[in-house]
Amino acid sequence: MDERVFIKENLRRVLIKEFVMKEVRNAGFGGLNIQRTPLGTRIVLEVERPGLVIGRRGSKIKELTQVLQEKFGVENPMIEVKESENPYLNSQIMAEKLASALERGWHFRRAGHSTLRRIMENGAKGAQIIISGKLTGDRSRTEKFTKGTVKYCGNTSEMVDFGYAVAKTKAGVIGVTVKIMPPDARLPDEIRIIGFPEERDEENKEEEVNENAEGAESEADTGNDAGREETEAQ
């Protein structure tokens, strides 16, 4: 297959994602997954507040489906709206929240530390926030806020959730990047010790001793019962 087909398809997916992000920004956009099925195109949309996307009696989601079909040429789009389990562990939602705070006039340090604290309080193993643009003066600069463990390379880096948003302020455009290491991510230096062989042997010996003691008690009880029966017979 021609490479241009792949480029065209990926470009269309990027345009669809940008359009959906713009349309459902008030609902807290958390991610988009497009899958082609024999029945059509399945679009899974993860948001913080699904009710704002669905609308009254599904009116908004019907409009979104119609626009995707007419404007972007999506074949039989089937949109599934899923509520985010924990918005504070979704990097895209937190990036959108941070960008919204910057647009409302929050100082970038206050907004960055507040967002980082909320992420870590919800159980994340690590997080990093990168804010770049005209923050305080005419020159652009970059500020990083990092806490916990965040991997940058190797197989472990694939576990890091990545989100990006843009804040449009009076001074200019500010880019916001959020990286979150989820709580269930297993790092290479984490070792789980089930038990030492010596401890297992001691546990087995204790079990054998207990079993033998129980057996002896049952035999003694049986002997006592037999003796009583003989005495009664006499």
Q: What is the pLDDT of residue 44?
A: 87
Distance CA 17, CA 2 (A): 24
Distance CA 216, CA 212 (A): 6
Q: What is the pLDDT of residue 43?
A: 86
Q: What is the pLDDT of residue 215?
A: 58
Q: What is the pLDDT of residue 210?
A: 62
Q: What is the pLDDT of residue 227?
A: 47
Pick the CATH number of 88-181 from 3.30.1140.32, 3.40.50.10310, 3.40.50.261, 3.40.50.620: 3.30.1140.32
The β-bridge relationship of strands 77-83 and 40-47 is parallel
pTM above 0.85, yes or no: no
Q: What is the pLDDT of residue 234?
A: 47
Contact in structure between 80 and 45 (CB atoms under 8 Å): yes
CATH fold for the domain made of 3-84 = GMP Synthetase; Chain A, domain 3 (3.30.300)
pLDDT, averaged in runs of 10, over the chain (234 residues): 78 85 82 84 86 83 85 83 87 91 91 93 92 88 92 85 90 92 83 64 61 57 50 48
Region at 28 (left for phi over 0; alpha for psi -120 to 50; beta for the rest): left
Q: What is the pLDDT of residue 204?
A: 62
- The torsion defined by the Cα of 144, 149, 154 and 156, in degrees rounded to 10, comes to -130
Which segments of 123-192 does DSSP mark as H helices, in order? none
